[in-house]
Amino acid sequence: MRIGVLTGGGDAPGLNAAIRAVVRRCFDRGDQPIGIRNGWAGLLGKGDVRVLTPPDVSGILHLGGTILGTSRTNPLKSQAEIEQLTGNIAAFGLDAIAVIGGDDTLSVACRLDELGIRVVGIPKTVDNDLSETDYCIGFDSAAGVVAEALDRLHTTASAHHRVLVAEVMGRDAGWVAVFGGLAGGADFILIPEVPVDIDRVCEHIQRRFALGKEFSIIVVAEGVVMREVVSKEAIREVDEFGHVRLDRRGVGETLSRIIEDRTGLETRVTVLGHLQRGGSPSAFDRVWATRLGVAAVDFIHAGTYGVLVAVRGNRIEPVPIRDAIGRMKQVDPSLYQLAEIFY
């Protein structure tokens, strides 16, 4: 078989491990792997694809980014582009495509599945917000970056008796904030799923101070909903899938200014931004990316198409892509409550 592989959407640590797994499994099974460059953009126009050979995937397991490149190109916006996709898939003789991506990238895969193209999805997003799968490639590494950053913020916050606010990614879900915050011992975590009054945060910081804890680490997710912070709807810059630039809201900056004004405590903000997406994947991400990449090729050989290779507990199960997209997986409230015990 000629099996295409692409990475779409925001990059995440572990993409190269997944590409390597797909390609190596193709070799095992006598298939020819075809790399599609820059997400769905690689199947538009004249197309941008090439046969992948063993040297292409040698030495990439530990590398961040993606050797195939990525983009947020959305061909669903026009019928002409959907036709370009299907035309190129036929012209390049692709028997099936392993699509490594999150909700947006997989929504295109879902449409192709409806049109009779053989696709298998591999869950990827540092946000970890894809439904029907417990885990998405890149999430563990991103949460690890947050935990390490909080360790560093603790020492400087403690030395200066300051409040330090860390703004983290996650889009409209608080997974990165809650996992990173739990692992890094945050003193308060603010996430989109749980609206919190800033007064409560300030009172908590002051209570800690009165108890002799002269510093506090506050984690805030970029998508948090607070009266004082500009709403998502007010942001004009959107990507091709209609998502607003949440970094433009500056929630960390606003929150730190309010905390300083209301508590009188010196406060600083650190926006972790794309540090959370860059660099080497964790061992956990490498192992799951490897398992999922191999499983995707095995599903293709089994004739199981239109599915996501989903993580359920410690197992991999096929779930229809259409069930995984279009509704965000929210943070489990019990996990948030667990973090609160340690505030």
Catalytic residue ranges:
127
Footprint (CB under 6 A) of ligand F6P, residues 270-309:
277
Q: Does 10 bind ligand F6P (CB under 6 A)?
A: yes
Q: What is the DSSP string of 295-341?
A: HHHHHHHHT--SEEEEEETTEEEEEEHHHHSSS--PPPHHHHHHHHT
Give the binding range for ligand F6P (CB under 6 A) out of 45-53, 55-63, 125-133, 264-272: 125-133
Q: Which is nearer to ligand F6P, 49 or 308 (CB)?
A: 308
Q: Given candidates 26, 246, 255, 309, which one binds ligand F6P under the rule CB under 6 A? A: 246
Q: Return d(Cα 256, Cα 262) in angstroms, integer.
A: 10
- Burial of 236 from C-beta contacts in 10 A (0-12 / 13-18 / 19+): exposed
Query: Which structure tokens are listed for 186?
Result: 């945050």
Identify which of residues 89 and 244 has a Cβ nearer to ligand F6P in the complex.
244
- Name the residue nearer to ligand F6P (CB basis): 237 or 340: 237
Query: Is 113 near ligand F6P (CB under 6 A)?
Result: no
Q: Tell whether residue 169 is a contact of ligand F6P (CB under 6 A).
A: yes
Q: Tell me the window of 26-34, 119-127, 145-153, 260-268 that interacts with ligand F6P (CB under 6 A).
A: 119-127
Q: Are 6 and 99 in contact (CB under 8 A)?
A: yes
CA angle 159, 164, 169 (to 5 degrees): 140
- With CB atoms as reference, the residue minimizing the distance to ligand F6P is 169
Q: Work out the end-to-end distance of the chain between its first and last CA atoms, rounded to an integer number of angstroms.
A: 54
Beta carbon nearer to ligand F6P, 176 or 218: 176
Footprint on residues 135-154 left by ligand F6P (CB under 6 A): none
Radius of gyration of the chain (CA): 21
At its nearest, how many Å lie between ligand F6P and the CB of residue 265?
29
Nearer to ligand F6P, 101 or 184 (CB): 101
| Continuous segment of H or E residues that includes residue 36 | strand 32-36
Residues 196-235 that bind ligand F6P (CB under 6 A): 222
Burial (CB < 10 A; 0-12, 13-18, 19+), residue 295, is buried
Among 36, 126, 149, 153, binds ligand F6P (CB under 6 A): 126
What amino acid is encoded at 285 in this protein? D
Is 18 in contact with 290 (CB distance < 8 Å)?
yes
For residue 120, give both structure tokens: 């298998």
Q: Which stretch binds ligand F6P (CB under 6 A): 20-28, 45-53, 57-65, 166-174?
A: 166-174
Options 16, 125, 256, 267; binder of ligand F6P; rule CB under 6 A: 125
Size of the site for ligand F6P (CB under 6 A): 10
Residue 171 as a binder of ligand F6P (CB under 6 A): the answer is: yes
Instruction: Decide: is 127 part of the binding site for ligand F6P (CB under 6 A).
Output: yes
Q: Going edge to edge, which strands form the sheet with 2-7?
A: 49-51, 32-36, 2-7, 96-101, 119-123, 307-312, 315-320
Q: Which lies closer to ligand F6P via its Cβ, residue 24 or residue 243?
A: 243
Q: Give the shortest CB-15-to-ligand F6P separation in angstroms.
A: 12
Closest CA to 126 of 93, 155, 101, 161: 101
Provide the binding-site residues for ligand F6P, judged by CB under 6 A: 10, 125-127, 169-171, 222, 246, 277
